[in-house]
Amino acid sequence: MVWQSKETGWAGWRALNTDARRDSVHNDKDQGDSMSVSSSNSGSGREILKRERDQLVVELCRPKQPRLRVLVVEDEPDAQMLLKFILEPRYEVITASSGDEMRRQLEAYAERLSLVLMDLKLEGGEDGVTLTRQIRGEGRWKTLPIVALTACSTGDDLRRAIDAGCDDYVPKPFYRKQLIALVERLIDNSLKSEVSQA
């Protein structure tokens, strides 16, 4: 197979010739440097390409699984943005800055909520420990994994968080790999628990 590349880029290419031995493409303006890529058109090569194409079609037609959701309860916008940046390649991330906003998000996204990251030191009347107790007080959220995010990792703060119902904690500042590994582990354990109870 032979391809000709021109300065104007890939968008201006069109197929010139297609036969059993050679495909060539050139740019509409016929200017610039050319580049060639060749491959043999043996029977086994065509079979491999056909199989890859068929696998791609199957993959594209397969119904997409919904992404798991993580609720981040954090009142600092920079921390919210950092957590979204870290987690969004794997999860759908929704955020809340207060207890009221958290309750609205829990109601709006109840179906596929997989984990809560809870800042313990929220501004206002309700801190993360109080909100964790409220979540655990509702029967449908008893098994929802909750991870405490805390800048003050004293023994007393962590004990209060665990007693309130947090499954684990991450001290601030945190390491990206540590956070991802913890979130993945807790979500996997929760999903396995749901399957075994079903």
SS3 of residue 20 by DSSP? coil
**Model pTM score:** 0.66
Q: What is the pLDDT of residue 14?
A: 42
Q: Where are the domains of the chain?
A: 10-61, 69-197
CA within 13 Å, CB half, 84: 12
Calpha distance 181→183 (Å, rounded): 6
pLDDT band for position 45 (cuts 50, 70, 90): low
Please answer whether residues 10 and 27 qualify as being in contact, where contact means their C-beta atoms are separated by less than 8 angstroms.
no
**Residues 3-34: tens digit of each pLDDT:** 444 444 444 444 444 444 444 444 444 444 44
3-state secondary structure at position 41: coil
The CATH superfamily of 69-197 is: Response regulator (3.40.50.2300)
Indicate if the pLDDT at residue 87 is higher than 70.
yes
